[in-house]
Every structure is written in structure tokens, then in C-alpha cells.
Structure 1
Amino acid sequence: MKILSLQSIGLGATFSNSYGNGINVPFILKVGYPLYDGIDFNLKDKNGNEITVTKIEFERLYADIDVLNQSDSYFVHTSDGHIRLFPADKYIAEWGE
């Protein structure tokens, strides 16, 4: 089993509907999809290429690359070579094959 996506719980961007009410849109990360900034744009690297999620892992020790062990965190690997940490208490994971 691996993590296919993460969805924020109580986090995200708030947009107004036609009645002026705020609607919370959750922040979603999916393997193979671009990173979204929450304002309707995909994040890009310094060359202008969209940054995509390549892998999502949970609670892995990264001592070999000088990243401290972060318990209760999701490690989101992206196409620009970065690893982004997301707190597990603020995101729910979708697991699959």
C-alpha cells in the first residue's frame, strides 16, 4: 500500500460564492499531479515547469540527507527535487496500490 493523495482538514483557500458566503476549498496533493498554490495557479520551478508530486510517504527517517526524523508528518516528494513536510494532524491520506 502507498499514499495516493493528501487532503487538508480545516485548511485551504476560502472563496466567496454568489451570495457573498465564504466557501473553504481544501488543499489537495495527488501523486502525479501539479502542486496547486490555492489561488488557482500551479507552482512552477525556476525554468517555468510545473512542479508535480512524485511520491508521498509517512514518518520516514531521512538521516542520510540531513533531514530530522519528523514523527506524525507526511513527506511529499516533488519533481523539483524537494521534500515538503505536511503535518499528519492536518491532512488525511488516501491509500491504495
Structure 2
Amino acid sequence: MLSTIFNLLKVATVIFYLLALASLVIEPLHGFQMILLTIVAALAIAHAAEFLLVRNKLALIEKAAGHHLLNVMLFGFLYWIPLLYTDNANSNT
């Protein structure tokens, strides 16, 4: 159930990024362009800080570091919380 919610939030995040990108070229969205791009910039800064905080824990999971960086920059905690939660659940059993 929780993974479904995280996946839906990831889809919503991608839709938001696409909406922000569309605001650059679609005339009716130009009025919202500044706020959308400001939110995207704030998310990028927050996600970069998140990556710096969790990169050591993510390094323990066997995937390429670039893979983790890209996903954390796109989705933030929506990416790494399920990874760390399932990793801890598997190590406890």
C-alpha cells in the first residue's frame, strides 16, 4: 500500500516537472512560469541536500551511484525511503 502511494506521488512529481517544462513553451502557462520554475529550483536544492545526507546509506545498496543521484534529484525521499525501508526489513529477517 505504501509503495503504491509513493509510486503515485512519483507520477505526480513527473507531471509537475513536465508542467514546469511546458510553461516555457505553452502560452497559457506563461503566467505560472515564474512560480513553477522557482519551485523546481527549490526542489533541486532540497534534493541535492538530501542526496548528500543519504549517499552513504545508498552506497550500501548495490546499484550505480549515478542511478541513485538521478533518482534522488528527481524524486527525493520518494526514491530513497522505500529503498532503505525494504533494505532494513530484509536485513532484520
Larger Rg: 2
| TM-score clears 0.5 | no
The structure carrying a bigger strand percent of its residues is 1
Name the structure where helix makes up a greater proportion of residues.
2
The TM-score, its normalising length taken from structure 1, stands at: 0.23
